Amino acid sequence: ELYHGYGEQYCSYQCANTARTQDLQPEEVIVEHDEAIHWSEVGDEATLYVEAARIMAARVLTSRKTNHDRMAFAFRLATSRFPNDEELHVLANRLTQLADHYAGNPNDARELVSTGDHRSSEQLDESELAAWTTICLTLFNLDEALNK
């Protein structure tokens, strides 16, 4: 997961300071953290950011059937390009970790997917939506997405 600007103590999407370098490999950029997400402690700007990621995640989940296609679609939405195989591999590994985390911690998932004013579809599984929301946050924080 990647972080940009909201304080490490509050967000599980974090970015190494070296992520500003264009020639890093994906595994050098995506840093894993096991800390719980406490969205109630972040400011309004972060809430809007999380809500946008959740809405994007819902779009990704409902418009593509396989996780591979979903990752490629989400990556393209964020960066305007298709991911390479290595980027897909890193995202797939992280998605597996996130899915396991949120399946085992439904309260964390519920807290994340209820962030903001826009209500999530009740047809989407909260744990899956939370995992994809975090993937979308990761993509939003890629250097090329920030500078697109």
| pLDDT at residue 117 in the model | 75
* CB-count burial class (<10 Å; 0-12, 13-18, 19+) for 105: middle
Whose CA is closest to 110, among 39, 9, 12, 13? 39
Angle between helix 106-113 and 44-63 (nearest 10): 100
Q: Per-residue pLDDT tens for 92-131?
A: 999 999 999 999 999 999 999 888 777 777 789 999 999 9
Q: How confident is the model at residue 143 (pLDDT cuts 50, 70, 90)?
A: confident
Task: List, for residues 25-74, the tens digit of each pLDDT value.
Answer: 343 334 334 444 444 454 577 778 889 999 999 999 999 999 999 999 99
Residue 11 pLDDT exceeds 80: no
Q: At what angle do helices 126-140 and 106-113 cross, to 10 degrees?
A: 60
Per-residue pLDDT at 43: 58
